[in-house]
Amino acid sequence: MDQCPLNVGLMPNPENSCTDLEEIFVNHIFNTKGLCRTKRWRMIAAINGAHTLGSAKVENSGYKGFWSDPVNSGVFNNDYMRNIVAHGWGPDRAVNGNPKKNQWKLIDRSSDHDKSE
C-alpha cells in the first residue's frame, strides 16, 4: 500500500500553526474526561519539546533542517526551546521550491544547521 487514506488530518499541518494543534490535540486526542484545557495544552508543549531531537528532511516532510544545532540534535535537552527564545528568526518561503512549505530560519547568526544535512 503506497498511501494511508485514514491518516488525513491526524497530524498537524505546520502551515496551519496552532489552529491544527488545537483541533487535533486539544479538541480530539487529549479531550478526555477530567483533563482540563490547560493540561491539554501542557501536553502539547511536551510533545513539541520532542523537536529538540533530530531534523526535518525534504524527502520525508517537505521541510529541511535541524530544530536545534547538529551537535545538540542528538541530545535530549532544552536547546530547541533556548534557540526559539534567544535568536532572531525570519521566514524561509517555498522550501525546496514548494510554495506550500514554509519554515523559519535563523537570521541573527550564520546557520550551522545546513552544513550537516
Question: Residue 109 belongs to what domain range?
Answer: 53-117
Give per-residue pLDDT as tens, 77-97. 888 888 888 999 999 999 999
Q: Are 64 and 102 in a shared domain?
A: yes
Q: Are 39 and 58 in a shared domain?
A: no
Q: Which band of pLDDT confidence, cut at 50, 70 and 90, is reported for residue 108?
A: confident
Q: Are 86 and 107 in a shared domain?
A: yes
Per-residue pLDDT at 92: 93
Per-residue pLDDT at 101: 93
Could you give the C-alpha distances from 81 to 4, 59, 78, 84, in angstroms and in order?
32, 25, 5, 5
Take residue 73 and report the three cell numbers written for it. Answer: 540534535
Per-residue pLDDT at 117: 43
Give per-residue pLDDT as tens, 36-60. 999 999 888 888 777 778 888 899 8
